[in-house]
């Protein structure tokens, strides 16, 4: 789904620091709320805003994420909901995963992840990779798996995100039967 820049600016409080979730190599991620036109409900989203001085590599990452992840559907992948490509900037809109990234949980000295939570996380990541490498139409190589790109919901279910470096492999791998 294509969004207008103004709609995403309103949703994120004009990309305010209070709504900033983090910063990466090509821009920042903000949380926001988008009101659904059809039923008036509110959808919680994460908006990745590419830096205004986005390089050609940043543009390639934007296009790669839109081209590849917009077609992927799996319970362990962060869902791309839409994008904005305007003169004011390049933005990607994702579902907001409420538990934050794995790196924040790893570096939380006040609470260690239990063994069952760790198991759930690694099994979810394995399921996402199996889907990307074997179960989807083409083999997708993520290219940037690290704790900050592994999101966790409130039940510690894994959602792999940030497909900016993802590539379609041309290795001739064929999907395995389930």
What's the CA gap between 72 and 83, in Å, rounded? 15
Check 39, 85, 137, 144 and give the catalytic one.
Answer: 144
Token pair recorded at residue 43: 């959808």
Q: Report CA-CA distances (Å) from 107 to 28, 79, 103.
A: 21, 25, 6
Does 104 carry a binding-site annotation? no
- What residues have CB less than 8 Å from 144, skipping those under 6 apart? 162, 164, 165, 166
Residue 153 annotated to the active site = no
Contact, 158 vs 125, CB < 8 A?
Answer: yes
Q: Which residues are annotated as a binding site for ATP?
A: 49
**Catalytic residue positions?**
144
Q: Which residues are annotated as a binding site?
A: 49
């Amino acid at each position: 789904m294509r969004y207008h820049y103004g709609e995403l600016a309103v949703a994120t409080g004009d990309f305010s620091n209070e709504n900033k979730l983090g910063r990466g190599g090509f821009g920042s991620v903000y949380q926001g709320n988008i009101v659904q036109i059809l039923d008036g409900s509110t959808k919680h989203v994460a908006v990745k805003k590419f830096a205004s001085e986005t390089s050609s590599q940043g543009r390639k990452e934007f296009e790669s994420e839109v081209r590849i992840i917009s077609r992927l559907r799996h319970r362990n992948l962060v869902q791309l909901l839409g994008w904005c490509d305007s003169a004011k900037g390049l933005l990607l809109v994702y579902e907001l995963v409420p538990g934050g990234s794995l790196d924040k949980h790893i570096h939380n000295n006040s609470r260690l992840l239990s063994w069952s939570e760790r198991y759930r996380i690694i099994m979810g990541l394995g399921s996402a990779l199996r889907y990307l490498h074997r179960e989807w139409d083409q083999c997708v190589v993520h290219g940037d798996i690290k704790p900050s790109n592994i999101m966790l919901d409130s039940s510690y279910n894994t959602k792999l995100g940030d497909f900016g470096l993802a590539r379609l492999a041309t290795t001739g791998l064929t999907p395995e039967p389930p």
